Copies of this chain bind each other. A is one copy, B any other.
Amino acid sequence: MSTDERHRPAASRPRRVDVARLAGVSPATVSFVLNQTTGQTISDETRQRVLQAVAELGYRPNRAAQGLRQGRSATIGFVNHDADFGVFAAASIKGAHEACMRQGNLLLLVNTGGSNRQAAQLIVDLLDRQTDALIFAAVGTRSVVLPDAARRVPTILLNCFAPHDPAPAILPDEVRGGREAAQALLDLGHRDIAYLTGSASLWATKARLRGFREALRGAGLDPREHAVLSGNYHADSGYELVRKLLRRGPRPTAIMCGNDRMAVGALLGLLEAGIRVPEDVSVMGYDDQFQLAAEIRPALSTVRLPYDVMGRLAAEQLAAGGSAVHTGRTLVHCPLVMRDSTAAPAGARTRA
């Protein structure tokens, strides 16, 4: 077996020299044509010969080799820093992936399981592979510690923030989301709105609650007179809380829920008690969860948590250039989505 063959398994892809040979030019010329190298003038005829050879052989440059040479890999690392890896992570990834497609990048995905140690290790693994940039994402919006290793490449925080780190962050505008949800209910004529919140300690919970209160005050109402029960974002907590609410006394005309899953639980609890939605009480969710909010009956009025948009934004900002990355926090709007679980209260109809 000749030396030539030993290094070229039969099934392997064509290399640049194969193209050069076929086109009757030097390997360098092939690079010049393919990369449209500036400052290199290639005759039109040569370019055609090269392109034809490329097409004929089905040649594609080896990106590992390109990467080694150029120190970049056309790959972005996506670090999912959360215990779970569910529908919201999927949405951000989907958005980031879309943007990457347009840029010719690919996503190298890792999941830390929520451990900082794992996160640090995985970022190193990513960097070992020449990842050009990093998206560090959490699902429950929260404060994180960005591993030092991440400093080596442009990094953007998705749905989380690192207090003592200059890395830019992309976050949903939860205050406004909470405010607009409450405002929509107020606009329908509701004056007695209960709020079944998610886990009280979370950033998103507090922000949404703040928006809720702002809206009430804006309508001249006293937030202290409105029931606020705290749950944990799971469907069963919506169910339990609504039962508690019903036992407690006069029924509000509308119920805002921490998220769509809690709203589903609330819906179930309400129906079980013989209370109709939205005729007897309006229910408002949050998240616009894929395959849930729009599909249940009644279809849920909610606020869309735009994880896909945020993922896309992250990848776009990263591609826009490491240093040109928008610094500080970017707040992304969470648009209101009105469906069938909300309506004017019975009283308002009488009044009208």
Contacts and interface: CB of A to CB of B under 8 A. Distances in A.
Contacts of A65: 68
Contact of A62 (B107, B125, B128, B296): B128
A106 B111 contact: no
Given A64-B129, A128-B62, A106 B110 contact: yes
Interface in A310-328: none
A93 B86 contact: no
Interface string A74-115: 110010000011110111011001000000001111110000
Interface in A1-36: 11, 13
A261 interface: yes
A106 B90 contact: no
A264 B264 contact: yes
Interface stretch (A206-214, A248-256, A269-277): A269-277
A348 interface: no
Given A63-B128, A268-B268, A268-B296, A290 B109 contact: no
Contacts of A67: 64
Nearest to A110: B106
B85 A295 contact: no
A85 B93 CA distance: 9
Interface string A258-271: 00010011011101
Given A94-B85, A269-B297, A75 B291 contact: no
Contacts of A264: 264, 296
A236 B272 contact: no
Given A86-B291, A90-B89, A271-B271, A75 B236 contact: no
A300 to B, nearest CB: 10
A64 B60 contact: no
A160 interface: no
Given A90-B86, A272-B271, A297-B236, A60 B108 contact: no
Interface string A279-307: 00000000000111001110100000000
A226 to B, nearest CB: 25
A145 to B, nearest CB: 19
A239 interface: yes
Contact of A297 (B130, B235, B299): B235
Given A86-B90, A272-B271, A265 B75 contact: no
A61 interface: yes
A124 interface: yes
A68 B89 CA distance: 32
Contacts of A68: 62, 64-65, 68
A182 to B, nearest CB: 25
A261 B130 contact: no
A152 interface: yes
A94 B111 contact: yes
Contacts of A268: 267-268, 271, 296-297
A124 B59 CA distance: 11
Given A61-B128, A265-B295, 4 more contacts: A11-B152, A64-B68, A85-B93, A109-B109
By Cβ-Cβ distance, the 10 closest A-B pairs, closest first, are A235-B295, A271-B271, A239-B297, A85-B94, A87-B87, A90-B90, A64-B130, A109-B109, A63-B128, A64-B67
